[in-house]
Amino acid sequence: MGKKSRFKHLRKISANLPEVAEKTFVSEKVEGHQLIENGIDTVNDKPVKLGGIYRKVTAIAKPVNHYRKLKQLDKTGGVAAVIGYLDKFQPQKQAL
C-alpha cells in the first residue's frame, strides 16, 4: 500500500472515531496588580509585587486530532501501533 492510499485510509478511520478531549496545560502571564485586585496577596509564600509579572498555569480540555495521532503512530510504530490506538475505542467485552 502506497503512502497516499495509506493516509486516505487513516483519514477514513479517524472520521469514524468518537470525539475525545485530552487534558493539556496553558501558561499565561498575569501582572501583580491583577492578582492583588482578585485578592491574591502571596505567590509561592512570597508577597505579590504590584509591578511584577507572574505565570498562571491552567488545565484545559483540548480535542484530539485522531488523524494526526494515527499518522504519527503509523510513522513511528507501524500498523501495530495504529491497531493498539484503535483498540482503546472498541467497546469492552464484559466477562461473565
Write out pLDDT tens, residues 35-51. 999 898 888 888 999 88
The domain spans of the chain are: 1-19+64-91, 21-63
Cβ 32 vs Cβ 47: under 8 Å:
no
93, pLDDT greater than 60: no
Q: Using CA atoms, how far apart are residues 63 and 81, in angstroms rounded to an integer?
A: 21
Q: Which three cell numbers stand for residue 10?
A: 487513516
95, pLDDT greater than 60: no
- pTM of the shown model: 0.66
Burial class of residue 66 (count of CB atoms within 10 Å of its CB; 0-12, 13-18, 19+): buried
Tell me the mean pLDDT in the region 49-69: 93
Cβ 55 vs Cβ 30: under 8 Å:
yes
